[in-house]
Amino acid sequence: MGIKTSIISNADPRILKTLSSLGILELLTHAPTLSWDVEASKPDSRIFQAACKACDVVDIGQGVIMVGDELKALQIYSVQADLGIGSDYRGARAAGLEARLIRRQGDWSDGAVREAEEDLEDVDVVTSLDDVLEEVRQRNRLKGDIQV
């Protein structure tokens, strides 16, 4: 059984051109799920559910790991509303998915810039996507699934 990969983005379709030019689209097994198409943005559970459905996942609580770089929603205040925008980790957890918060290392990395203000207690943190890939491979070995 192969590893299904996709992207969830709070973006409009213009992001697809960027992902394509970077060679990322060809690495995915399923098309990205965009808030523009789903009419729901992270942290709304509907966008996570839509991504799982697009990847033919029947039970989103089984074997799905969402890797994100936003711990909690950023608060953006406007005349109309107080909007929570961008929660990858907490939104995925609320939707019933396993989640990993990526905090790469280095002077200018997301880890160096963000960790000082974050409470990472009870948060599953990884320092690279390779960490997640290895976790999935180990799980597949334990289940006897075919490796990719």
Query: What are the structural domains, with CATH classification, of the chain?
Result: 8-143 (3.40.50.1000)
- pLDDT at 49 (0 to 100): 94
The backbone torsions φ and ψ at residue 48, rounded to the nearest 5 degrees and listed phi first, read: -70, -40
The backbone torsions φ and ψ at residue 92, rounded to the nearest 5 degrees and listed phi first, read: -65, -45
Q: Which parts of the chain sit beneath pLDDT 70?
A: 1, 72-86, 108, 110-116, 145-148
- pTM as predicted: 0.81
- pLDDT at 74 (0 to 100): 52
- pLDDT at 36 (0 to 100): 92
The backbone torsions φ and ψ at residue 89, rounded to the nearest 5 degrees and listed phi first, read: -65, -60
User: CA angle at residue 106 from 102 to 108, to 5 degrees?
Assistant: 90
Task: With CA atoms as reference, report the closest residue to 85 among 145, 42, 36.
Answer: 42
- pLDDT at 145 (0 to 100): 56
CA distance 15 to 22: 11
- pLDDT at 81 (0 to 100): 44
Task: With CA atoms as reference, report the closest residue to 65 among 74, 53, 52.
Answer: 52
Q: Do 8 and 32 contact (CB within 8 A), yes or no?
A: yes
Handedness of CA 102, 88, 110, 119 (dihedral sign): negative
Task: With CA atoms as reference, report the closest residue to 99 among 148, 135, 75, 53.
Answer: 135
